[in-house]
Amino acid sequence: MGRWPKMLLSGFVFWSVLTVGFVSQAAAAGTYRFSVLPRYFSVVILERFGPMADHIASQAGIEVEFTIPQDFSEHISLVRKGDVLLSYQNAVVYAKVSGEVTPLAIASQGKDKTRFRGLIIVRSDSGINSIADLRGKSVSVVSMTSAGGYISQREFLSQNGIKVEFDMIPSEAADNKQENVIFDVFSKKSDVGFIQENALHRVDKVIDPSKIKVLVQTSWLPNWIFAVHNSVAPELAAKIQAALINLPPSDPILKAADLDGFVKPDPAVLKDLRRMVMGQ
């Protein structure tokens, strides 16, 4: 079994990098650094994915050093350079590092399991009733790299003859928050909004939800992806994959991560993802 070591913290009030080791008593030679894309505060990431790191260490017989990068860019850099050998990231970030890693498992969560999609929203009184009405309109997006708040919608509209960058007027919402996209549309700051489907009702207690209309649901994207660097031996990668995929749905490790399980990735789905994100 693994054990919880001391936490090494840097920074004041907020942690820029948090590194903790999860050491199996039967650890093989070498340390495998594990980076989780820093979507949440460090303490939340540790609580959610610490048990998973411990489990991987125990099942694969390796030493796993848990690293939380300062931001998305640092995570991408660490993965590309091979400074971390195990990584867990969203679909867009995976696509950016896919040349350097091997995908082992896709997270399954909720009714949509291993996938999610975006929405295009407008005000109910906007007069926008079809995607043909979107040309020339201002659009608030989560960020130009957001999977559910830009990439999904861009792909869908491209398939329907609309190029967001040329046919619309995009701008990123304040703090890159899904909620602020909804506020932008509600306040008429923007004609249109791109959000992830599960964000639709986040501000229902603050605004009148009847004022927001879903124009269309957009393209599906895969959920978060666990990967190993291409330098990791195939035999070890197989052990790590089995450790994740064989977790039963009721396992406390999955509960901590707010997941229902992991499944093997579909190569065709990931190939299409790289095309959407990277044009490859």
Q: Do 119 and 214 fall into the same domain?
A: yes
Distance CA 168, CA 280 (A): 24
Quote the pLDDT of residue 25. 34
| Domains identified in the chain, total number | 2
Q: Do 217 and 244 fall into the same domain?
A: no
Q: Judge whether 2 lies within some domain.
A: no
Residue type, 88: Y
Of the three residues 206, 221, 236, the one that is the final residue of a domain is: 221
For residue 195, what are its two tokens? 């959000």
64, 53 contact by CB (below 8 A): yes
State what percent of residues in the chain have pLDDT above 70. 89
CATH of residue 263: 3.40.190.10
Which of 7-21, 147-161, 163-177, 242-256 is predicted with the least confidence, judged by mean pLDDT?
7-21
Q: Do 25 and 103 fall into the same domain?
A: yes
Of the three residues 221, 251, 268, the one that is the final residue of a domain is: 221
Distance CA 97, CA 80 (A): 6
Position 245 pLDDT exceeds 50: yes
* One-character DSSP codes across 84-138: -SEEEE-HHHHHHHTTTEEEEEEEE-STTTTEEEEEEEEETTS---SGGGGTT-E
Range of the domain at 209: 115-221
pLDDT digits (tens, 9 = 90+) for 149-205: 999 999 999 999 999 999 999 999 998 889 999 999 999 999 999 999 989 999 999
pLDDT digits (tens, 9 = 90+) for 105-138: 999 988 889 999 999 999 999 999 999 999 999 9
Distance CA 156, CA 136 (A): 17
For residue 162, what are its two tokens? 């609309």
Distance CA 35, CA 66 (A): 6
pTM reported for the whole predicted model: 0.78
Which residues, 6+ apart, have CB-to-CB distance to 257 below 8 Å? Answer: 48, 49, 51, 52, 107
Q: Judge whether 267 lies within some domain.
A: yes
pLDDT digits (tens, 9 = 90+) for 211-235: 999 999 999 999 999 999 999 999 9
**Which secondary-structure segment (H or E) carries 33?**
strand 31-36
Q: Judge whether 1 lies within some domain.
A: no
Bridge partners (DSSP) listed for residue 63:
23, 31
Q: Do 243 and 203 fall into the same domain?
A: no
Q: Do 121 and 217 fall into the same domain?
A: yes
